Structure 1
Amino acid sequence: MHESPVEHVAVVIPARDEERTVAAAVHAVQTAALNLPPGLTVDVVVVADACVDRTAEVALAAGAHVLVATEGNVGAARALGCAWALDRADDERVTWLACTDADSVVPPRWLLCQLDAATSGAELFLGTVALPRADAARHRRWLRTYRRHRAPGKGTGHGHVHGANLGVHAAAYVAAGGFHDLPVHEDADLVERLLAGGAVPAWADDAAVTTSARHHSRVVGGVATDLADTAA
């Protein structure tokens, strides 16, 4: 457990051809940052990975720091963004890393909920996702299954792991080896290593991130695949 209060927050957003949604994602994070206590500094970094559209330009215009990558791999993109954030923060400030996605919109209390969890001793924040209201009706089966899911062997935790709604103390992140270069489930892989190493989790369901309800993904797995499989 890390007892020093968080002094700096870095939000990492991987993006691949998300010119239509990345500005909304960045603006939502900026709104969430306004609810943090005075004195905390916040960086928002978008990793435009293997993009062939205007994602980088749109993200920059929205006010994010932008890294351009050619990895074509979400795990590598998240790792690159976290490495940049940690290097920028330096070792003098206690840093919290928050992750979301470029097709997602975080709620106004998102960062405050993560920092409240950190203040209570959590080193890992695991939040839930929600679908846009217009899409919820056609995904009733997915929603029922999602809400019933619990974490086996983890007490009362909801058991979901989403890169769109994830936070981790920087020291715990580094100790666990960070994100690995995985094309899918890079979030679950990191969380598994963090929990195995004794990181204290906070399973939160009061700061759901609204994520895309699209059915098509560049990889098999994740919410898009689940939605396609359970569409009402």
Structure 2
Amino acid sequence: MADIKIGIVIPAHNEAMTISDCLASVQTAIEQLPSNISAYPLVVLDDCTDDTLALVENAGVDYIECDYHCVGKVRDLGIRHAIKKGATWIACTDADSIVTPDWLMEQVTHIKQQPTDMICGVVDVDNWAHLTSQTREAYIAHYQDMMGHRHIHGANLSFRDEAYLAVGGFAPLPCHEDVDLVKKFENQGYAITWSNHVRVITSSRLEARANEGFAAFLANLEKSNL
């Protein structure tokens, strides 16, 4: 990938409480890139009825709108839009997450050191204060924060444009669309890098947007420890 053009795709459904911090962190990550690598964020607004749109406009970030209520369809819409605009590498995160300043640079480093078709990164939980200590301990015991981990997060998943299109993209699934996409890459023999250098800080909220997403996972973990 001689010329890397990064499209950063962020789905959002009523994320007025978190979208500004997310976009600010993405801008900081973009500013760390060398001048020969371009990157631009794209928010996909999925039936937002709060102030998310106004906040995205205030941040000067490009956006498109839809009414899918299906994260797989929302991600796919944004990614195909970004590819049509020239993106050769897609970086996905979520509107309730904050990417680290070196989030994009670490991806570029992986791409240049050992060509890869996909990078699965890791997440840090932003706040444990409202959760029991048992939940935190159980989570830490489960989570493999290391190179070669096997965790999959839609909030920290990136890949090459041509590979994405070749496997058919995100399926129209309301949850686990990220797991499904990784399985497609694996089944078709694409190279996947499982990296703990590519990091995102994600929300520890328990009110799930997806029935079986990360918030639901934490909520179920908390429930089992009460």
Alignment TM-score > 0.5, same fold: yes
Deviation at 1:137, TM superposition (A): 6.5
Distance 1:30 1:72, change over 3 A: same
1:110 equivalent to 2:107? Answer no
**What residue number does 1:216 align with?**
207
**What residue number does 1:101 align with?**
94
- Equivalence map 1:130-145=2 (5 Å): 130-135=124-129, 138=132, 139-140=135-136, 141-145=138-142
Distance 1:35 1:144, change over 3 A: same
Aligned amino acid, residue 198 of structure 1: G
Match of 2:181 among 157, 174, 190: 190
Rounded to whole Å, the distance in 2 between the matches of 1:117 and 1:11 is 17
Secondary structure (helix, strand or coil) at the match of 1:48 reads strand
Rounded to whole Å, the distance in 1 between the matches of 2:2 and 2:195 is 20
Distance 1:164 1:6, change over 3 A: farther
Deviation at 1:101, TM superposition (A): 0.0
Which string of whole-angstrom CA distances, capped at 9 and with x for unpartnered residues, describes residues 94-152 of structure 1? Answer: 7100000000000001001111111121110000111114549733122221238x9xx
Which string of whole-angstrom CA distances, capped at 9 and with x for unpartnered residues, describes residues 205-230 of structure 1? Answer: 12321111011213321211111122
Match of 2:71 among 52, 71, 74: 74
TM value normalised by structure 1? 0.89
Which string of whole-angstrom CA distances, capped at 9 and with x for unpartnered residues, describes residues 148-205 of structure 1? Answer: 8x9xxxxx62111101001001111111111111100111111110111111111111
- Equivalence map 1:8-19=2 (5 Å): 8-19=5-16
Larger % of strand: which?
2
Secondary structure (helix, strand or coil) at the match of 2:107 reads helix
Aligned length: 219
Match of 1:124 among 118, 124, 129: 118
Identity %: 35
Deviation at 1:6, TM superposition (A): 3.8
Which string of whole-angstrom CA distances, capped at 9 and with x for unpartnered residues, describes residues 26-71 of structure 1? Answer: 1111110111121211110000101111111211211211111111
**What residue number does 2:25 align with?**
28
Rounded to whole Å, the distance in 2 between the matches of 1:137 and 1:143 is 13
Aligned amino acid, residue 208 of structure 1: R
Aligned amino acid, residue 106 of structure 1: V
The unaligned stretches of length 5 or more in structure 1 are 151-155
Is the Cα contact below 8 Å between 2:125 and 2:204 reproduced in 1? yes
The unaligned stretches of length 5 or more in structure 2 are none
Is the Cα contact below 8 Å between 1:142 and 1:226 reproduced in 2? no
TM value normalised by structure 2? 0.91
Secondary structure (helix, strand or coil) at the match of 2:85 reads helix
Distance 1:185 1:39, change over 3 A: same
Runs (4+) of structure 1 exceeding 6 A deviation are: none
Rounded to whole Å, the distance in 2 between the matches of 1:135 and 1:6 is 43
Secondary structure (helix, strand or coil) at the match of 1:127 reads strand
Aligned amino acid, residue 177 of structure 1: G
**What residue number does 2:157 align with?**
166
